Amino acid sequence: MRWAINQALDEELERDPSVCLIGQDIGRAGGTFGLTRGLFDKYGAMRVRDSPISEEGMADLALGAAIAGCRPVLEIMFMDFLTLTMDALVNQAAKTYYLSNGAIAAPMVVRTLAGAGVRVGAHHSQSLESWFTHVPGLKVAYPSTPSDAKGMLKAAIRDDNPVIFVENKSLLGYKGAAPAEGDHVVPLGKAEVKRAGTDVTVVAYGRMVHVVLDAAEQLAKEGIDVEVVDPRTLMPLDTDTILASVAKTSRLAIVHEATGPSGFGAEIAARVADEGLYYLDAPIKRIAGAFYPIPTGEAEDLLFPDVARVVDSVRDLMA
């Protein structure tokens, strides 16, 4: 996935001279995770700008650039540090278009790495996506494959609204096809059925898509046919695709690695309860990360949904 993100940035910098990148160590160093490698040499310091270690200042700089006519892509290294940018994103960027009566847009993307899987502890592993899906004016994208990451990032950069673009750090090394030719753009707000099935719908995003796909293969050996739906964009949410799947299977489980209380699974469950309650033959089941600060090291593995837990939960749902 790492190179899919790099290709998307490269292609958008090439296509549109108003696109610029801002972040810590993204210039000549190519980024802490190598996501901007080669872009400084190709586009120069004016468009691939290193910033001081000040997330508040970086977010304000990106917002100002967006209002002035640029399309900045801001990299906040870890989602945990988005807490430092909240005023610029929540109180300013999200409201710029509305408060100016449509006269001023803030077309900016905030790329950030989220989630666990690499055992780096409480300050570098959180999944805070639901904090931002709660804010009118912000879009939240969360791809799970290289193809989606490339196409959705290009769509996010072209969007006139501020977009929080979440990249799961444990998926950076994930290998998969991402079209290298042509203008590969995946529209925001469109879910995808990653695996068709007839017995139970499981909605998952980010790293959990792959956990659920592995669980589905195991359950298939027991005769349980799982349909896996990846929303890809959490806000706006493609409720129609989820409801169509639940209408077919009559059962729904939601899997995410963010903690359960007030997690995004609650929003999905509420929408299905509101609009598709009579499709259901069983209560909706949520499978989420433990409500606990994330420890460093191997203990991290105990907190998050894994294949065994998903398999057991789906079996219960089918009982």
Give the catalytic positions in this structure.
Answer: 55, 124
DSSP symbols for 80-109 = GGGGGGHIIIIIIGGGHHHHTTTS-----E
Q: What gap in Å lies between CA 138 and CA 134, rounded to an integer?
A: 8
Q: What gap in Å lies between CA 42 and CA 29, rounded to an integer?
A: 13
Q: What gap in Å lies between CA 261 and CA 12, rounded to an integer?
A: 38
Among 61, 91, 92, 90, residue whose Cα is nearest residue 75:
61
Looking at residue 296, what DSSP letter applies?
B
Residue ranges with strand state E in the chain: 19-23, 48-50, 71-78, 109-114, 139-141, 163-168, 192-195, 200-204, 226-230, 233-235, 252-259, 285-289
Q: Distances from the Cα of 129 to the Cαs of 163, 173, 176, in angstroms?
A: 12, 21, 24
Q: What gap in Å lies between CA 272 and CA 203, rounded to an integer?
A: 12
Q: What length does the chain have?
A: 319
Q: Distances from the Cα of 127 to the Cαs of 22, 88, 235, in angstroms?
A: 22, 20, 15
CA 285, distance to chain mean position in Å, is 21
Q: What gap in Å lies between CA 244 and CA 224, rounded to an integer?
A: 19
Query: Phi and psi at residue 298, in whole multiples of 5°?
Result: -60, -25
Phi-psi region of 286 (alpha: psi -120 to 50; beta: other; left: phi over 0): beta
